[in-house]
Amino acid sequence: MHLPNLEEAKDRTSKENKYINLDENYKKVFQGKKYFLRTYGCQMNVHDSEALRAYLETLGFTSTEKIEYANVVVLNTCAIRENARDKVIGFLGKCKYLKKNRDNFKIVLAGCMSEQPDVIEDIRKNHKYIDIIIGTHNLPDLPKLLLESFNKQVIEVYSNSDEVIEGFNYERDSKYTAWVNIMYGCDKFCTYCIVPYTRGRERSRRLESIIKEVEDLKNKGYKEVTLLGQNVNAYGRDINETFSHLLECVAKTGIERIRFVTSHPWNFTDEMIKVIAKYKNIMPYIHLPIQSGSNEILKKMNRRYTREEYLDLFHKMKEKIPGVSITTDIIVGFPGETRKDFEDTLDIVKTCEYDGAYTFIFSPREGTPAAKMKDDTPISEKETRLQELNELVNYYSNKSNQKLLNKTVEVLILGDSEKDPNKVYGYTDTMKLVNVNGPKDIIGKIVNVKITETKSFSLDGDYIDEKIVA
Ligand code: 5AD
Ligand code: SF4
């Protein structure tokens, strides 16, 4: 069978909706073929995978959970810490083995690892069985690369285009809650972080285009959108817009729940706080990474705020946004972190009593400034600090969950509970996970739930009734 080559594939795509409207002939080529997609890392990757799925399914592929049945394996990778990378390398070993025994078994490496020069070099030398490497900027190129790869072995590397992609046709994982990407990249250059190198400069999507996407989702019955950006509240700086204005416009669409991640304290304005407090459909939940409680370390991290400035912002949020829940990210063992610096971090956790925190041991990323900084704290000491921090963090998340015991809260029910097949699960407005004793037909609805038990990372509750929409 003749497979169209790269040039033919390009010709057949329309400019506006680049690679989505592929000719029906391509579908015939891939009809009956299966893909296996695995996603590593952050929400941005989870959402990118929804685009990858859409491309694959438009080409005629169907999804399989069993890699043994797949014709194409796509790994959407993460580079933020070394262990994320190790997981991918481990899984590639399995793919290599499967490829030995199968014809036309294609392996695609996508995501942040594909944007790291040292990874590309390693793959060229040691992982020649990988067919396609596709960067985070070039997801729309997947169909044409796949078409080409079924003709011959190709390795293509794509990087650093400054494109802003509008109008993706996502194959969304949920029918009730949707990610909406509002900007790409990050300009902050925190000294430990690889993201500005793998995702490029900050580029904002057009406001009208975002609003249209939210309105379409609402009309399709979606109850919740989460606005996504590596640095979500820096939205608009490149196009003379502001995040607070966007947030207000999204609130006015009337969609029932609006969330946004991840906010940088440096870009959080009073106007944003005002808008969040004003609109009931903007959820009282803010993820506000602090990274460290020590001014010395914050400076070395290039975080652009002091602990005092962070605390001012934190207290302002607590005061102005009723019932707000705030979570954070913390890195321990940054180069040069002393016991005293670490105690400053513990102190911030005690002051803020976070609803939750993601905690990490510093992982040097090649090409970032922090990877070259002198680091003489032994790993065993870093592990001890992490454990001590986690105990404190868990104490406070438990404490905040306990406040909900016997209270009635609104929960958007998203599906069957993983813990117990007889239950369903969902999230409170403050982003707490609840396993709910209730009928299956409440999936997709916002309902009142009475909390009957609290744990560190989740709550249990009984369904009462549906939320009355005013
Ligand atoms: N080492 C450890 N943690 C990191 N993070 C980002 N880069 C690194 C690194 N090199 C953490 C930060 C960030 C979260 C997404 O991952 O806390 O907020
Ligand atoms: Fe990385 Fe800092 Fe940008 Fe967050 S703000 S993505 S930690 S560089």
Domain parsing of the chain, residue ranges: 6-150, 288-402, 408-469
* Ligand 1 neighbour 192 (Cβ under 6 A): yes
Check pocket membership of 18 for ligand 1, CB cut-off 6 A.
no
Share of the chain above pLDDT 70, in %: 90
| pLDDT higher at 23 or 375 | 375
Give the architecture-level CATH label for domain 288-402: 2-Layer Sandwich (3.30)
Q: What is the mean predicted confidence (pLDDT) over 242-246?
A: 98
Highest mean pLDDT among 69-83, 111-125, 195-209, 379-393: 379-393
pLDDT of 3 higher than 60: no
Is residue 76 over pLDDT 60? yes
| Residue range 408-469 in CATH 2.40.110.10 | no
- Could you tell me which residue, 64 or 199, shows the higher pLDDT? 64
Q: Evaluate: CB of 360 within 6 angstroms of ligand 1.
A: yes
- Compute the distance from residue 240 Cα to the ligand 1 centre, in Å: 29
Q: Evaluate: CB of 230 within 6 angstroms of ligand 2.
A: yes
Fold of 6-150: Rossmann fold (3.40.50)
Ligand 2: which residue has its CA nearest to atom 2?
A: 190
pLDDT at 164: 66
Lookup result for tokens 């020649």: 128
Contacts of 329 (CB under 8 A, 6+ apart): 262, 287, 289, 290, 291, 357, 358, 359, 360
Q: Is the pLDDT of residue 214 over 90?
A: yes
Which residue owns the Cα nearest ligand 1 atom 6? 193
> What is the structure's pLDDT at 103?
79
User: Cβ(190) to ligand 2 under 6 A?
Assistant: yes
From 331, 348, 359, mutation site for ligand 1 pocket: most ligand atoms within 8 A of C-beta: 331
Residues 6 or more apart in contact with residue 375 via CB below 8 angstroms: 333, 335, 336, 362, 364
What are the distances in angstroms from CA 113 to CA 32, 84, 469? Answer: 30, 10, 45
Q: What is the pLDDT of residue 193?
A: 97
User: What pLDDT was estimated at residue 144?
Assistant: 80
User: Within a 10 A sphere around the Cβ of 93, how many other Cβ atoms?
Assistant: 9
CA of 376 to the centre of ligand 1 (A): 19
Average pLDDT value for residue range 435-445: 97
